[in-house]
Amino acid sequence: MQHQSGCRGIWLLPLSLFLSSLGVARTGRSLLSCPAACLCASNILSCTKRGLVNVPQSLPHYTAQLDLSYNNLTHLRAQWTSVRLTHLHYLFLSHNYLYFISTEAFSPVPKLRYLDLSSNHLRTLDEFLFSELRELEVLLLYNNRIMEVDRSAFDDMVHLQKLYLSQNQIARFPVELVKDRSKLPQLTLLDLSSNKLKLLPTSDLQDLPAWMKNGLYLHNNSLTCDCEIYKLFTHWQYRQLSSVMDFQEDLYCVHSKKTLSVFNMSSTLNCSEFKECAFEAHLDETLTISCDTRQQGMTKEWVTPNNERVPSEVGNGSVVMLGDGSLQLKRIRVEDQGLYTCYAVGEVFNETLSVEVKVHNFTQHGPHDTLNTAYTTLVGCILSVVLVLIYLYLTPCRCWCRAGERPASHQGDSLSSSMLSTTPNHDPVAGGGGKDSGFDRRVAFLEPTGPGQGQNGKLKPGNTLPVPEGAKGQRKMSDPESVSSVFSDTPIVV
C-alpha cells in the first residue's frame, strides 16, 4: 500500500506542473510575470512610490497602463524596456527627476495615447523628441524647467489634442504649433500659462479659429503692455472664450514697471475700444464667412437679414451654406448687405453668432484696370512736359529780334506797365530827324503834386498826366483806368 501511494505521488507532481503550465499557456499570463516592485491588476501595473532608479525589467507585453510616478528616475534611455509594449496606452512618469529623454525612448510604445512627464527636471525638448508618438492624444509637460522648445519637437503628432506646457521657463511663444494647422491638426488645448512670455504674435493668434483660441491659456505671464494685447484679449472676452473668462484676474501685463490688467490698460496707453468689424465686399464679388464657434463639430444653420433660412450648397441661389458650415455669397449685390445670423447646436452648449456684411456700390478695379490707369496717367504727364518745352523753346521770334527789321507800332499802349524796357512802345515823331528819332525814351515819376492825383500818386478818374513840353504831340495819353494801377515812385518809359 505504501509503494502504491508513493508512486501515485510521483505521478501527481508532474501532472500538476503540466496543468499549471497549460493554464499559463491558455491565459497567456502568470503570477510570476508581475515585477516585484509593482502591483498588478489585470493589464494595469502600478510601480509608484517605490524609490526606483531604473524601470523594472521584464514588463508584461500585455501592459496597457504603467504608473512609474513618484520615483527617482533620472534618465529614460532607448532600452528602458526589454520588450516592445504595443498594448501600452497610458504611461505615468510624473514626480521623478528626469532631465534626459532619448529621442528613441518612445519607439517601444508606438500606441501610447496618454503620456505624463510633469513635475520633472526637463530643460529642453529636442528635435523629433515625440515624433514616434503618432497616436498620442494628451501630453503633460507642466512643472518642469523647460527653457527651449525645438520647432520640430512635436512633428508628426497628428492626433495630439491637449498639450500642457505651463509652469516652465519658456520665453518664446511656439507659434509653429498653432500657425501651421497641418502640424497639429487636432490640437484643441495649449496651456502656456505661468511661463516667461513677454511678447505674443497677436496677428497670428487673432487669425486662429475660435475653438482653438478657446483652449489657448496665456495667463500668469508678464506680458509687455501694448494696444494689440489689449485688443486681442478684449476680443476674446467679448467672445466669452474659456481661456480668458476662467482666468481674468491672472491676465496682466507690465508697463513702466507697473503691473496692469490687460482689460484696464486702455486709459493708460490711450488704446481705442474694441469693435467687432463688419465684412466688406464690392459688387459681383464672392464672399465666404465662417461660423466661428467655440466648439468643433457643431450643427450650424444660417439666417439672412430677411429672416430666411440659407439653403445648403446643393442649391442654385446666390447665398448658400457650404459643407463646413460657412456662408457663401456669390456675385454679391447691394441688396445682400445686412446682419446674418449663425445658429450652432453642440453636445455641450449652443451658440449664436451674428455677422454684419457691408456692400460697396461699385466694382473693385482689377490689376488690368489699375495698369491701364497708371499707363494713361504716365502718357499724360509726358505729353504735358513736351508741350511745355515746345512753348518755352519753339515759340516764333518777335519781329524786332530779326536783323534789319523794326517793331510794329502799338496803338493805345497803357501807362499801367511797370516794367522797364528798351523796346519803343510808341510811334516815332513824324518827320523827326536823327538816328535816335525812333528810339525816344523818357522816364516819368508820378507824384501827388496836383489836385487831380489821389493817394500814393494814383490818378483820379477823369484826370490826365502832365505832358513834358518837348513831348507834346508825340504820343497819346493813356486812359485813366490803366493809369490808376501805377504807384508814385514807379519809373515809366514814355
Q: Which residues contact 347 (CB under 8 A, 6 or more apart)?
A: 295, 297
Three cell numbers at 111? Answer: 500606441
Locate all alpha helices (DSSP H) within 239-275, ordered by sequence. 242-245, 266-269
Strands (E), 267-392: 279-282, 287-289, 299-303, 319-321, 327-329, 338-345, 350-360
The pLDDT mean for the chain works out to 79
Q: Average pLDDT of 403-408?
A: 52
Q: How far apart are CA 358 and CA 437, in angstroms?
A: 82
Q: Which residues contact 113 (CB under 8 A, 6 or more apart)?
A: 89, 90, 135, 136, 137, 138
Q: How confident is the model at residue 429 (pLDDT cuts 50, 70, 90)?
A: very low
The pLDDT score that the predictor gives to residue 28 is 43
Question: One-letter amino acid identity for 276?
Answer: E
Say if domain 279-359 classifies as CATH 2.40.30.10: no
Range in 73-87, 390-404, 463-477 with the lowest mean pLDDT: 463-477
What is the CATH number assigned to the segment(s) 39-269? 3.80.10.10
**pLDDT tens digits, residue range 119-156?**
999 999 999 999 999 999 999 999 999 999 999 999 99
Question: Would you say residue 463 has pLDDT above 80?
Answer: no
Question: What are the φ/ψ torsions at residue 125 (nearest 5 degrees)?
Answer: -115, 105
Q: How confident is the model at residue 392 (pLDDT cuts 50, 70, 90)?
A: confident
The residue extents of the domains of the chain are 39-269, 279-359
The pLDDT score that the predictor gives to residue 405 is 53
Locate all alpha helices (DSSP H) within 363-454, ordered by sequence. 367-393
Q: How confident is the model at residue 13 (pLDDT cuts 50, 70, 90)?
A: very low
In the chain, % helix, strand, coil (3-state, to 5) comes to: 20, 20, 60
- Identical fold for domains 39-269 and 279-359, yes or no, is no
Range in 5-14, 86-95, 250-259 with the lowest mean pLDDT: 5-14
The partner residues of 164 in beta bridges, in order of sequence, read 140, 191
Of the candidates 92, 102, 44, the one whose C-alpha atom is nearest the C-alpha of residue 68 is 92
| Coil, helix or strand at residue 478 | coil
Range in 30-34, 73-77, 259-263, 307-311 with the lowest mean pLDDT: 30-34
The pLDDT score that the predictor gives to residue 221 is 97
Q: Which residues contact 355 (CB under 8 A, 6 or more apart)?
A: 278, 279, 289, 327, 339, 340, 341, 342
**pLDDT tens digits, residue range 214-259?**
999 999 999 999 999 999 999 999 999 999 999 999 999 999 999 9
Of the candidates 292, 294, 295, 235, the one whose C-alpha atom is nearest the C-alpha of residue 263 is 235
